[in-house]
Amino acid sequence: MKALVFYGAGEKAWEDKPTPILDKSTDAIVHIKHTTICGTDLHIMRGSVPTAHKGVTLGHEGVGIVEELGNNVTNFKIGDKVLISCITSCGKCLNCRKGFYGHCSDGGWILGNTINGCQAERVRIPHADGSLYHVPDHADEQGFVMLSDILSTGLEVGVLDGKVRPGCSVAIVGAGPVGLAALITAQFYAPAQLITIDVDPNRLEISRSLGATHAVNNQDNTAVEQVMNLTEGQGVDVVIEAIGTPAGWDLSEAMVAAGGNLAVLGVHGKSVTLHLEHMWKRNFTMTAGLVHTTTIPMLMKTIISGRLQPRKLISHYMKMSEIIEGYNIFANAAKHCALKVLMTNDL
Ligand SMILES: [Zn+2]
Ligand SMILES: [Zn+2]
């Protein structure tokens, strides 16, 4: 079968690889129907995710069909259409029992990182019972791919950890797909101000159409000043950092209000400076971490009811065999007006 294989910083290939086989009785083999590229894959391609080793198949998002099952998988049968969670969870270890699936002692974020992932014709999913979800027949299976990671991450790590609440002000630093997923899901909680910050006019325009009350262009490095003007000099109650760079951190830190929350969504490959000489008196709370994907079932219901429209996050549709071009488009998002690039396998 074909797979997108990582060969170290800047090196990848779409090439033949052995078809995955069942390894444990709790595994499933899923024939991938749709997958997508994540900002995290770009971080891996830059060499800033040390756990991703050379030779691994990338990708941690997708919808597919169950093709083989280990004897101890009980929730699924062959032929079921399934959503793959970016987080693998055994459901039994201490962290899983706390609902911290992201830190499962035999899982967590391993797909397309420490084990072969979803940008392939087939993928082996460990702990299938805890790591797959049924996709209803009538559901929009392409839109559902947005649930594997970005919608649940935007909601859990951005909106819920950041404690977005009615009437509050929110700034989302970085209007890429996961920032926009936070923007969409923040609206479940009716904040008064929803400010997006980016340097790409296309993404800012899209953020307005998705519900941003203000879109701040930081081309001239005046984002902090502009946000202060929008908040009577107070800063915002909730800052969601969705870039994953020291510059993204610096902006976020500078605009969080006294008593506010700063939720880090970005994947950081470099250290940042916490300016404690200013921040010690700010009474702010910072959160950062992995998604647990516990909100996937709830998000599925909101998609099926039409309240949430995940296709608004997809800008490009391609064949899986065009994935190298898909990476070029996603990595040069401003040039191509790209959000998520969805790739489909012919089944
Ligand atoms: Zn991802
Ligand atoms: Zn576990």
- Asked whether the beta carbons of 139 and 145 are under 8 A apart, the reply is no
CA angle 311, 314, 319 (to 5 degrees): 115
Give the distance (Å) from ligand 1 centre to CA of residue 256. Answer: 26
CATH of the domain at 254: 3.40.50.720
- Name the pLDDT band for 154 (thresholds 50, 70, 90): very high
Residue 2 CB coordination number (10 Å): 18
Q: Is 341 helix (H, G, I), strand (E, B) or coil?
A: strand
Q: Are 90 and 207 in a shared domain?
A: no
User: Is the per-residue pLDDT at 65 higher than 70?
Assistant: yes
Across the chain, mean pLDDT equals: 97
User: Is the per-residue pLDDT at 312 higher than 80?
Assistant: yes
- The last residue of a domain, from among 240, 262, 288: 288
- Name the pLDDT band for 347 (thresholds 50, 70, 90): low
Average pLDDT over residues 313-322: 96
Q: Are 279 and 308 in a shared domain?
A: no
Q: How far apart are CA 137 and CA 83, in angstroms?
A: 12
Give the distance (Å) from ligand 1 centre to CA of residue 38. Answer: 4
Q: How far apart are CA 193 and CA 232, in angstroms?
A: 12
- Asked whether the beta carbons of 88 and 127 are under 8 A apart, the reply is yes
Give the distance (Å) from ligand 1 centre to CA of residue 42. Answer: 10
Q: Are 273 and 195 in a shared domain?
A: yes
Q: Give the rounded percent of residues in the chain with a pLDDT score beyond 90.
A: 98
b/e per residue, 267-298, with b = 16+ CB within 10 A?
Answer: bbeeebeeeeeeeeebebebeeebbbbbbbee
Average pLDDT over residues 255-265: 97
Query: How many folded domains does the chain comprise?
Result: 2
Q: Are 137 and 7 in a shared domain?
A: yes
Give the distance (Å) from ligand 1 centre to CA of residue 249. Answer: 20
Residue 28's H or E segment, with its range, is: strand 28-36
Give the distance (Å) from ligand 2 centre to CA of residue 250. Answer: 35
- The last residue of a domain, from among 288, 305, 335: 288
Give the distance (Å) from ligand 1 centre to CA of residue 218. Answer: 25
CA 180 to mean position of chain CA atoms: 10
Q: Give the rounded percent of residues in the chain with a pLDDT score beyond 70.
A: 100
Model pLDDT for residues 230-243, shown as the tens digit of each residue: 999 999 999 999 99
Give the distance (Å) from ligand 2 centre to CA of residue 289. Answer: 17
Q: Are 256 and 225 in a shared domain?
A: yes
Q: Are 122 and 156 in a shared domain?
A: no
Q: Are 8 and 141 in a shared domain?
A: yes
User: Is the per-residue pLDDT at 346 higher than 80?
Assistant: no
* Angle (deg, nearest 10), helices 246-255 and 223-230: 30
Q: Strand 122-125 relative to strand 340-344: parallel, antiparallel, unpaired? A: unpaired
Tokens of 252: 């976020």
Closest ligand to the CA of 102: 2
pTM over cut 0.85: yes
Q: Are 162 and 199 in a shared domain?
A: yes
- Asked whether the beta carbons of 65 and 84 are under 8 A apart, the reply is no
Give the distance (Å) from ligand 2 centre to CA of residue 303. Answer: 27
Give the distance (Å) from ligand 1 centre to CA of residue 205. Answer: 23
Query: Tokens 């909601």 sit at which residue?
Result: 155
- Name the pLDDT band for 269 (thresholds 50, 70, 90): confident
Q: Are 12 and 121 in a shared domain?
A: yes
Closest ligand to the CA of 100: 2
Give the distance (Å) from ligand 2 centre to CA of residue 14. Answer: 32
Average pLDDT over residues 64-89: 98
- Asked whether the beta carbons of 256 and 63 are under 8 A apart, the reply is no
Average pLDDT over residues 3-19: 97
Average pLDDT over residues 50-62: 96
Give the distance (Å) from ligand 1 centre to CA of residue 176. Answer: 12
Q: Are 201 and 320 in a shared domain?
A: no
Give the distance (Å) from ligand 1 centre to CA of residue 78. Answer: 26
Q: Are 23 and 123 in a shared domain?
A: yes
- Name the pLDDT band for 141 (thresholds 50, 70, 90): very high
Give the distance (Å) from ligand 2 centre to CA of residue 60. Answer: 18
Q: Supply the range of the domain harboring residue 212.
A: 152-288
Give the distance (Å) from ligand 1 centre to CA of residue 199. Answer: 22
Give the distance (Å) from ligand 1 centre to CA of residue 87. Answer: 10
- The last residue of a domain, from among 273, 288, 303: 288
Give the distance (Å) from ligand 2 centre to CA of residue 207. Answer: 36
Q: What is the pLDDT of residue 19?
A: 97
Q: Are 228 and 118 in a shared domain?
A: no
